[in-house]
Amino acid sequence: MKITCFLAVLTVTTVFATGCVSGRIHEKSYLRAVSVTGNSEKSAVFALFGEDKTVSGIGEDLDQVKSNAELKNGRDLFTGYTELIIVDGKECKKLLGHMLYKWKVSPSCNVVYCEKGDELLEKYGVEQLIGVSKQAVKKGVSPECNITTVLGELCENGIAKVAELRVDGTVQSYVIY
């Protein structure tokens, strides 16, 4: 009986601590994929769950980019369910570390390279890009490219191989730094 009461209290506490209270789930947009470009000034295109449109932001750092996109969107962006990150190969270790530890993206989130990620998102859509990145791993075109594996390689070796998705529809392996 004591165990049942303890589990009930723990469940209620967890629900309130994570913000899963009635109505609050609709106050946020949920990030599904993001394409980040730039070195000193960053820009990003955010694809959201359940929405056909994308939202973009520009800023000096990732948090400012996200904040500017939230202003345009009219809602906070929840990044915990992110499935795909498209990078342009610049400052990837710092960028991915920030996304994993500060934005708290999902550890299973795939990382791919594309020089023109915003065009890629627009042309193919998130669902197809996620499928292509998974097929690239399955078919041996690229190694496992979830954010934890890629960030581990970047920290250990200074480089990591990921799938390169091109706007023309081709896929190959690419080394990011």
Angle (CA) 177-139-141 rounded to 5° is 30
Quote the tokens at residue 66.
Answer: 């996200």
CA dihedral sign, ordered 44, 127, 54, 66: negative
Residue ranges of the chain with per-residue pLDDT less than 70: 1-23
Q: Of the candidates 77, 114, 126, 72, which has an alpha carbon nearest to the alpha carbon of residue 99?
A: 77
Query: 27-55, pLDDT tens digit by residue?
Result: 899 999 999 999 889 999 999 999 988 99
119 with 162: CB under 8 angstroms?
no
Query: 13-32, pLDDT tens digit by residue?
Result: 344 444 444 457 778 999 99
- The C-alpha torsion from 157 through 175 and 122 to 103, rounded to 10°, is 0
Which pLDDT score is estimated for 98?
97
Give the single-character DSSP code of 12.
H
